[in-house]
Structure 1
Amino acid sequence: MVSYVYILLCADKSYYTGVTANLEQRLFQHESGYFKDCYTFKRRPLQLVFYCEFSDITMAISKEKQIKKWSRVKKEALIQGDFEELPNLAKKHF
């Protein structure tokens, strides 16, 4: 079964990262406000800015958790497809 990790750009310019087995249905739920306690409920309208398919749900969940910890700059590099920048953005400068 295919799973998806996705990133939404919210109306307040924040990012929401999630995982689902049915991307189309989950996007509809976000956009319609189906879950009133969801982060995105008060931040609509939303825009899908990134998604990636996984054949293993465990791997998808792991990647979602990893991306959620990333800085805004690193998420934007992923969204823009600047994959070569990702390792540099992981380094902390003290």
Structure 2
Amino acid sequence: MGNKIFIILHTRRMFCNNPDCSHTTFAERFDFIADKAKKTKRLEDEIIHLSINCSSNVASKILKKNVEDVSKSTICNLLKKRNTYC
């Protein structure tokens, strides 16, 4: 596991002046994080990998100690989202 870090992103916001366009604003997107996500794809992969190899409770304790405060319910939600069961 890696070190605990915080990523602060400053995204560019673009505006559309076309009256026929259904979107008035557009935000810059990044490959390493999903839209409106709070965790990077790499962190989600690490959480899934760890929780598949041990219980959600143990994975939560390991992640809180080393990486990030992740609750058991968050782990279960990630597993359900990826069609892996808790």
Question: TM over 0.5: same fold?
Answer: no
Q: Choose between structure 1 and 2: higher helix proportion.
A: 1
Relative contact order (C-alpha < 8 Å, sep 6+): which is higher?
A: 1
Q: Which has the larger radius of gyration?
A: 2
Q: Choose between structure 1 and 2: higher strand proportion.
A: 1
What's the TM-score, normalizing by structure 1? 0.26
